């Protein structure tokens, strides 16, 4: 019998986004078995075909769909070792200009999807000896930033969810962590990063003086769900160029 450990089985929600696709390619290169989920079936199938993964078109705001996704992963591979939620949106509006519909959409996309992921993953992981869950928050949930009220509230909820779930499931060896990125260059943030003025302002807010790449966040997420990090839980990892904890550099 071989002593080589079996490849970990990871479920990635929001797999076709900038960060999700970078994470997918990294984990695939490391030999993981992947089950990918996203709403756009065509893009999802293309990515899954590229890396040899299973594609399950899924609306992560639909709890029943997320439960079915994890059922599919267990039926196909026998277990789920890691679950990563890369689902997200970006709404930059002050509270008084945010409509009820926008507010509900931000909560559904960012917080509901995270809760559905935790509920579905923990139900299965605690029956199979444990696992790891990684969620995505934002530096704006820990640092007051103008016009971020809705997204900061939703992603702040993700941090609270992370900490509470880490406590609830530690005894079952299910680890729960999250990342809190700064401004990352993805299709979601293109409106900010493609404008020279706003880009320079954003770069100046990060002490390292530059924006992040999807791969920066992907590496952090991959580390958090790596079975070798068995002593890491309840952490909020800032992948933010120092923005959440260090004052920006002063010119001169």
All structural domains of the chain with their residue ranges: 9-238
Contact 10, 225 (CB under 8 A): yes
Question: What is the average pLDDT value for the chain, to the nearest integer?
Answer: 93
- Is domain 9-238 in CATH 3.40.47.10, yes or no? no
- Alpha-carbon gap, residue 86 to 29, rounded angstroms: 19
Quote the strand ranges of the chain, DSSP E. 9-13, 33-38, 54-57, 82-85, 131-136, 174-181, 236-239
- pLDDT of residue 247 exceeding 90, the answer is no
Give CA–CA dist 50/56, Å, rounded. Answer: 15
Q: What is the per-residue pLDDT for 41?
A: 98
Whether the per-residue pLDDT at 2 is higher than 80: the answer is: no
Which has the minimum average pLDDT: 5-9, 51-55, 89-93, 232-236? 5-9
- Taking only the tens place, the pLDDT of each residue in 157-176 is 999 999 999 999 999 999 99
Q: How confident is the model at residue 251 (pLDDT cuts 50, 70, 90)?
A: low
Summarised one tens digit per residue, pLDDT across range 110-159 is 999 999 999 999 999 999 999 999 999 999 999 998 999 999 999 999 99
């Amino acid at each position: 019998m071989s002593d080589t450990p079996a490849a970990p089985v990871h479920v990635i929600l929001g797999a076709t986004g900038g960060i999700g696709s970078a994470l997918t390619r990294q984990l695939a290169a490391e030999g993981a078995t992947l089950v990918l989920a996203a709403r756009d079936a065509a893009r999802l199938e293309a990515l899954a075909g590229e890396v040899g993964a299973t594609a399950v078109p899924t609306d992560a705001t639909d709890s029943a769909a997320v439960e079915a996704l994890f059922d599919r992963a267990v039926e196909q591979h026998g277990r789920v070792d890691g679950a990563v939620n890369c689902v997200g949106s970006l709404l930059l509006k002050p509270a008084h200009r945010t409509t009820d519909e926008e507010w509900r959409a931000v909560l559904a996309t960012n917080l509901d999807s995270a809760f559905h992921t935790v509920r579905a993953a923990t139900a299965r992981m605690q029956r199979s000896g444990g696992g790891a869950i990684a969620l995505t928050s934002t530096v704006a949930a820990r640092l007051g930033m103008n016009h971020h009220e809705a997204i900061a509230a939703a992603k702040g909820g993700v941090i609270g969810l992370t900490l509470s779930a880490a406590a609830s499931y530690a005894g079952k060896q299910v680890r729960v962590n999250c990342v809190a990125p700064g401004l990352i260059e993805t299709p979601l943030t293109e409106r900010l990063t493609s404008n020279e003025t706003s880009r320079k302002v954003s770069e100046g807010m990060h002490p390292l003086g530059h924006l992040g790449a999807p791969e920066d966040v992907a590496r952090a997420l991959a580390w958090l769900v790596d079975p070798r990090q068995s002593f890491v839980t309840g952490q909020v990892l800032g992948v933010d160029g120092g923005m959440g904890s260090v004052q920006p550099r002063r010119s001169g």
